[in-house]
Structure formats: C-alpha cells, structure tokens
C-alpha cells in the first residue's frame, strides 16, 4: 500500500508551454522523491508590447511518500 501527496508548483519558460512543463517537472524531481505524475491546472502567458515573452504553467505534481 502506498500514500501519495500532491503539491502545486508554477514554472515558466520563454520558449513554450511544453518547455515550462519540462522545467517544472525537472525541478520537482530534484527536490521531491518518487514523482509519479502531474496535472496541468492552468496555462498563462506574459505579454509585453504585443508579444508573448513568457509561458507559465501551474501544475499539481503527485509523488509517493516513502517509509
């Protein structure tokens, strides 16, 4: 039997939503043990002078707790 926990993180990238997700998952992996999945709850962009300058994602990362 295992127990999982969910934590919310926000990640950003100047390239794309996909890159922001990758950056967030990689960072979560450095801090959390047993990352098993993520749910992308929200996507936003930052706009300056009519151009997208940053892609942001809010994700809920699931990881399994260890004994």
The Cβ-side half-sphere exposure at 48, using a 13 Å CA radius, reads 4
Q: For position 24, which CATH number holds?
A: 3.30.1660.10
Give tens-digit pLDDT for 43-55.
Answer: 999 999 999 999 9
Distance CA 15, CA 38 (A): 20
- Band of pLDDT at residue 67, cut at 50, 70 and 90: confident
Q: Which of 8, 19, 9, 20 is nearest to 56 (CA)?
A: 20
Domain, as residue range, for 46: 4-64
Q: How far is residue 7 from each of residues 3, 14, 28, 52, measured CA to CA in Å?
A: 14, 24, 10, 27
Distance CA 56, CA 21 (A): 8
Q: For the chain, how many structural domains are there in total?
A: 1
Q: Look at the pTM and tell me if it is higher than 0.85.
A: yes
């Amino acid at each position: 039997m295992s127990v999982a926990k969910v934590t919310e993180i926000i990640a950003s990238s100047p390239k794309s939503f996909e890159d922001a997700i990758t950056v967030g998952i990689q960072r979560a992996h450095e801090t959390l043990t047993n990352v098993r999945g993520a749910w992308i709850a929200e996507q936003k962009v930052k706009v300056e002078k009519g151009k997208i300058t940053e892609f942001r994602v809010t994700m809920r990362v699931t990881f399994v707790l260890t004994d």
